[in-house]
Structure 1
Amino acid sequence: MGLVFRNQLSNLIKIPVRPAYYLGHRRFFSSKRTIILGIETSCDDTGCAIVDSEGNILGEALHSQHLVHLNNGGIIPPIAQNLHRKHIESVVKQAIENSKLSFDDIDAIATTVKPGLPMSLSIGMKYGKYLCRKYRKPFMPIHHMEAHALTARMHDKSVEFPFLVLLISGGHCLLAVAKQVDKFLLLGESIDDAPGEAFDKMARRMKLRNILEYAELSGGQAIELAASRAKDPCSLTLLHPYSNIKTNQLIRQLISEEERNEVPADSVIPDVNNLCAGFQLVITRHLCHRLQRAMEYICSENLIPHDKQTLIVSGGAACNNFIAKGLKIVCDELGYRMVRPPPHLCTDNGVMIAWNGIERLKESVGLYVNFDDIDVEKSSPLGIRLVEDVINKNISCNWVKLTKLNKPQSTWSD
């Protein structure tokens, strides 16, 4: 099935969602269960899922490019695009088959259009639009990070607006207050590598792939597993600031260990587990400090009622149990409830895109019947930026002690 589509001459029209039907389509959005198909291709995973308005996952499918890019030493956009193009039709078909539904049962098609790798995003967007034209469905453009932020509301129905969200992944790291489905206050964001990217880069530099049991794990998974096996996690302690860790402290420590132990070019240092533990600890400590500062800013500005203080943690690096344990300590100290979706919903997937479509549909936001002017965006800010205000407040924190963080335990250990 090709990805060549006919241009339409009509202007972009944004329609409200009311008890009316769409272009002769007889499913009434407000009178019965709504079903959304979601497509995700923002990076290197081709995902599709069908979700209903009750939060039931009716069908899903995912094609991962992980091993291809692992062998290439990182994600190469043209290769990612070609793999999305090759697999998107079969992934969507598999999700439909798993749901035991047809396109007649689907009310709208939601697709990630920002932010992400443009070459990857374009495949999902074009295919989503193609399906909308073929089956006469409305199109819902989805913000990838907003989708991550709201997935927890499908997993835990007790999560209410407003809430604090920490998104940690390979491409992004940010703190924001989610006020409504499409309204966010951005409190902080990464200025260097996001944690997931830092894990991947340093795992490559430490040559963890040369250890057989780590060979097919992502950098974050390999470091977490190695850290869980550290005999003396504090023997190679790394210091702040986080932005200086990867480029200076860790590299210097690694080179020093390689020279001292006369490590061959294709081998790892004897203390690699301890170094991984130190690296993981300093990233966790940094995230905990930024989280605490955000919480104290929220308190000073009365952004979240005290009886509804909830933290949502999502994104690929949120699967790291050691990081989650540190964040939970901060939450317990400052009176927040922490909610983390299951690991398969923290990483990129079609479920979060479909669910964001459900959330937006309920609020009559972002449903299009004429969508030719909608395009992908490599970068897209999340909500109203308050980062500078947080900085200017110069909040002095009495940092929560993380002494309860004992020896790391990995999600990936036996």
Structure 2
Amino acid sequence: MAVSSTFCRLNLLPKHSLLRGLTSHGQQLRPKWPHNQISKLEDNLIVLGIETSCDDTAAAVVRSNGDILSQVVSSQADLLAQYGGVAPKMAEEAHSQAIDQVVLEALDKANLTEKDLSAIAVTIGPGLSLCLRVGVQKARKIARNFNLPIVGIHHMEAHALVARLIEQDLQFPFMALLISGGHNLLILAHDLGHYVQLGTTIDDAIGEAYDKTAKWLGLDLRRSGGPAIEELAREGDAKSVNFSIPMKQHKDCNFSYAGLKTQVRLAIESRKIDAKIPISSASCEDRVSRADIAASFQRVAVLHLEERCERAIQWALKIEPSITYLVVSGGVASNQYVRARLDLVVKRNGLQLVCPPPSLCTDNGVMVAWTGIEHFRMGRFDPPPPVDEPEDSVYDLRPRWPLGEEHTEGRSEARSLRTARIHPSLTSLIQASLQQQS
């Protein structure tokens, strides 16, 4: 009933809804453009991707043959350090200040103008609604002024699909582990727009645990928690602190890092570590203590990933025995320790690991542009916004937007996430659209 009522609300979305061709009409949209733009709808696509879902303002221009023509990212590292994490209102203001320059620089580096583009792709969810709005507003303004089609992008799908840009042999079906500050997600990708959720976060994601641990240890957050913890952990004894692995008693593929965060906080308090004293000013003994906690935390945090991946691989192979790849992407996938440990799991199960380069693991415009290209080829896009669209329009933003439907064995009664105000999954929307077409 909840899903049905949500679909009703989606069908009543205003004309400003991105992916409107999927959610409302259930048909492919092939608007009529001037003759000189017809060729842009075929193989030689050039797409501008815009990403503002959280704390980085990013844009990139990508060609459909896989050429990355430009990539620009404006980091909010100083804000993260100042507030000890993402402050939504501050992040929105930073996006607003940076978006015009980031997009302009992306076009300049590609040696192109808006008139050379085939389409605009922009993240519409999941993420922080205040931040998503900045990117969507910019994307629609360009699309409106230059009569360009627009593709609404699912942030997590983009993390998964960017691997297909750098690994040409990566065909569907494949598995993906998407790990970042806000998400832990294990999926089986049957096809473009068709995903099964094998496991997800029931409270805090691994990136959040890294960031909080780094903050409590007095590390420099301008680099974000992951790199800071990884570097300090190299100095420590990973078995010096006996943290317990989360959810050992749960035989599913879901993740939980809230309990591990509590263990870390208590360990820091017991050692009387003062986060106000930066690591650079810590005594030798204090530094060793912090390094031991960092190493012990990282070992257990990643062991949780390994255990869940191992089980998810077995589930996925039962569903799709032809799977040969596991994609690991998202900001935490930049961590070399994480990659090395997961590579062992993958090889033990006869699969191959695919990790995009670090610059494509963290939030970026390339992944958005490429995902836009993949969907555009399938006819999944909206026509240019109307020329009289008001600047203060209410856009279709999807802060809480599942990627796929839950695997039967993966449902968890321990899930603490509320289901209210969650959009229907991308998979359910696309599958419903395909059924209406047939």
TM-score (norm 1): 0.84
Task: Note if 1:365 corresponds to 2:380.
Answer: yes
- Contact 1:181 1:363 (8 Å CA) reproduced: no
Task: Note if 1:159 corresponds to 2:170.
Answer: yes
> How is 1:377-392 mapped onto 2 (pairs within 5 angstroms)?
377-386=398-407, 388-390=408-410
Could you tell me which of 65, 73, 83 is aligned with 1:54?
Answer: 65
- Partner SS for 2:227: helix
| Partner deviation per Cα, 1:314-358 (whole Å, 9 max, x = no partner) | 000001111111111110110111000000000001110000011
CA distance in 2: counterparts of 1:118 and 1:382, whole angstroms: 17
CA distance in 2: counterparts of 1:41 and 1:9, whole angstroms: 22
CA distance in 2: counterparts of 1:365 and 1:304, whole angstroms: 29
Offset of 1:264 from its aligned partner? 9.0
- Partner SS for 1:229: coil
CA distance in 2: counterparts of 1:26 and 1:62, whole angstroms: 29
- Contact 2:238 2:297 (8 Å CA) reproduced: no
Aligned to 1:411: none
How large is the Cα RMSD of the aligned pairs? 2.3
Task: Note if 1:229 corresponds to 2:235.
Answer: yes
The 3 A distance-change label for structure 1 pair 233 and 357 is: same
Task: Note if 1:294 corresponds to 2:299.
Answer: no
Aligned to 2:343: 328
CA distance in 2: counterparts of 1:128 and 1:150, whole angstroms: 21
CA distance in 2: counterparts of 1:199 and 1:319, whole angstroms: 13
**Aligned residue identity for 2:396:** D
CA distance in 1: counterparts of 2:173 and 2:276, whole angstroms: 51
| Partner deviation per Cα, 1:41-85 (whole Å, 9 max, x = no partner) | 000111111101111111221111111221121111111111111
Task: Note if 1:219 corresponds to 2:242.
Answer: no
Range moving further from structure 2, 58-67 or 129-138: 58-67
Aligned to 1:68: 79
Offset of 1:184 from its aligned partner? 0.7
Aligned to 1:169: 180
Task: Note if 1:278 corresponds to 2:290.
Answer: no
Aligned to 1:355: 370
**Aligned residue identity for 1:183:** H
The 3 A distance-change label for structure 1 pair 102 and 10 is: closer
Range moving further from structure 2, 338-347 or 32-41: 32-41
The 3 A distance-change label for structure 1 pair 109 and 275 is: same
Range moving further from structure 2, 286-295 or 237-246: 237-246
**Aligned residue identity for 1:297:** W
| Partner deviation per Cα, 1:74-98 (whole Å, 9 max, x = no partner) | 1111111111111111111101000
Aligned to 2:419: none
- Partner SS for 1:348: coil
CA distance in 2: counterparts of 1:108 and 1:247, whole angstroms: 43
Aligned to 1:148: 159
Gaps of 5+ in 1: 1-7, 210-214, 393-414
- Contact 2:326 2:351 (8 Å CA) reproduced: yes
CA distance in 2: counterparts of 1:120 and 1:32, whole angstroms: 32
**Aligned residue identity for 1:303:** E
Aligned to 1:376: 397
**Aligned residue identity for 1:250:** V
The 3 A distance-change label for structure 1 pair 264 and 347 is: closer
- Contact 1:163 1:304 (8 Å CA) reproduced: no
Aligned to 2:108: 97
TM-score (norm 2): 0.79
- Partner SS for 1:95: helix
Aligned to 2:96: 85
Task: Note if 1:251 corresponds to 2:272.
Answer: no
**Aligned residue identity for 1:326:** R
Identical-residue share of aligned pairs (%): 35
CA distance in 1: counterparts of 2:126 and 2:172, whole angstroms: 23
Range moving further from structure 2, 367-376 or 289-298: 367-376
CA distance in 2: counterparts of 1:353 and 1:265, whole angstroms: 38
Aligned to 1:337: 352
- Partner SS for 2:260: helix
- Partner SS for 2:84: coil
- Partner SS for 2:272: helix
- Contact 1:185 1:384 (8 Å CA) reproduced: yes
Task: Note if 1:129 corresponds to 2:140.
Answer: yes
Gaps of 5+ in 2: 1-13, 247-255, 413-438
CA distance in 1: counterparts of 2:403 and 2:232, whole angstroms: 34
- Partner SS for 2:50: strand
CA distance in 1: counterparts of 2:356 and 2:86, whole angstroms: 26
Aligned to 2:422: none
Offset of 1:204 from its aligned partner? 0.9
Offset of 1:359 from its aligned partner? 0.7
- Partner SS for 1:293: helix
Could you tell me which of 125, 143, 149 is aligned with 1:138?
Answer: 149
The 3 A distance-change label for structure 1 pair 206 and 357 is: same
Offset of 1:377 from its aligned partner? 1.3
- Provide the aligned length of Structure 1 versus Structure 2: 371
- Contact 1:361 1:367 (8 Å CA) reproduced: no
| Partner deviation per Cα, 1:237-259 (whole Å, 9 max, x = no partner) | 32222546434322222222228
Aligned to 1:212: none
